[in-house]
Every structure is written in structure tokens, then in C-alpha cells.
């Protein structure tokens, strides 16, 4: 058996299913199927953290050419606008956004000589999130912010199928 072929088959099977359910058009499905000429399995490598004792590695999974990468980007495009609308005041998009939020905070009169800023270094943040817990949180988010059981043309079940495929 070839894991790469198995992953690609799983992606193709899910997209075929979504086309039959009229969730995706055939054109969308074709755009989401990865090109075979640069397809590869996701792979792990580490980047040293020289500022930490014993120089541990920061785990990186490179999956830019993996079979489910385009599905992941597509699902992000569906869910991110909803997430950002709901959590915009708690979310920083980039460093410029942080500066603008701080300027607004100051302009609104909240920045005083007694204001304290706290930074937190969470150890193993992403490796500590259990897969099933992430899926449960996603399902709750979808239930809370769906309209008539759907987000766009996707039912919550369709979104969860895609999320499981991406995480697997």
C-alpha cells in the first residue's frame, strides 16, 4: 500500500461525494484536487529553539503539497470569515493590526500609566490540542453559527467530514 495514494484517494472520494450531494460543483471539485506532478506526503522536521535550555526542536509538519492541503485552504475560506466576524475584537491579524488596536485602546482612554501588558509562552500549544477535542469544538462552532443547519452549501456533517479528512 502507498500512503500517498491512499490519502489522494480519500480526498477524491470525499469530493466526489460532495459533488453528488450538490455541495460542490464539479468545477470546484476539480480545482481542489491536487496536481499529481508535485504531490507529496506531509513530513515532519524540527527547527531548533536556541533560546531554550537543551535546544529543543519546534515541530513543523510540512504539508504544502499533501493531498488535503487545498481542501484545508477551502475549508478555511468558508470558516475564517465567520470566526473573524465573531471574534474580531479578540483576534490580531498581523503586527500592524496589533499597533492599530493599541492606538484605538489609547484613543479610547484605556491606556494609562497603570496599564499592564502580559505575554504568555504556552508550551506545546498545538501539540497539546487533542484531535477529538478540536473536532468537538469545530462542531459546536458550526452549530452555533450556522444558518438553517448550513454554512454556505455545506451541512455541519459535510464540514466535519472535510475536517476529519484534513486532520487524518
- CA–CA distance, 92 with 99 (Å, rounded to integer): 10
- Total number of domains constituting the chain: 1
Q: CB neighbours of 47 closer than 8 A, spacing ≥ 6?
A: 57, 58, 60
Q: Where in the sequence is the domain holding 132, given as residue range(s)? A: 3-167
Per-residue pLDDT of the chain (168 residues; tens, 9 = 90+): 899 999 999 999 999 999 999 999 999 999 999 988 989 998 888 889 888 889 988 888 888 999 999 999 999 999 999 998 998 877 888 889 989 999 999 999 999 999 998 877 666 666 667 889 999 999 999 999 999 999 999 999 999 999 999 998
pLDDT tens for residues 23-62?
999 999 999 999 889 899 988 888 898 888 899 888 888 8
Q: Which of 143, 137, 32, 145 is nearest to 81 (CA)?
A: 145
Amino acid at each position: 500500500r502507498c500512503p500517498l495514494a491512499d490519502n489522494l484517494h480519500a480526498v477524491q472520494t470525499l469530493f466526489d461525494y460532495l459533488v453528488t450531494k450538490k455541495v460542490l460543483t464539479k468545477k470546484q471539485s476539480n480545482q481542489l484536487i491536487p496536481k499529481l506532478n508535485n504531490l507529496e506526503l506531509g513530513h515532519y522536521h524540527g527547527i531548533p529553539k536556541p533560546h531554550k535550555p537543551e535546544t529543543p526542536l519546534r515541530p513543523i509538519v510540512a504539508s504544502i503539497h499533501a493531498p488535503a492541503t487545498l481542501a484545508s485552504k477551502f475549508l478555511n475560506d468558508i470558516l475564517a470569515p465567520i470566526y473573524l466576524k465573531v471574534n474580531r475584537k479578540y483576534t490580531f491579524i498581523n503586527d500592524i493590526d496589533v499597533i492599530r488596536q493599541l492606538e484605538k485602546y489609547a484613543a479610547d482612554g484605556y491606556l494609562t500609566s497603570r496599564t499592564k501588558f502580559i505575554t504568555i509562552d504556552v508550551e506545546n500549544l498545538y501539540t497539546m490540542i487533542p484531535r477529538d477535542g478540536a473536532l468537538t469544538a469545530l462542531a459546536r462552532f458550526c452549530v452555533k453559527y450556522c444558518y438553517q443547519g448550513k454554512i454556505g452549501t455545506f451541512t455541519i456533517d459535510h464540514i466535519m467530514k472535510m475536517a476529519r479528512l484534513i486532520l487524518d
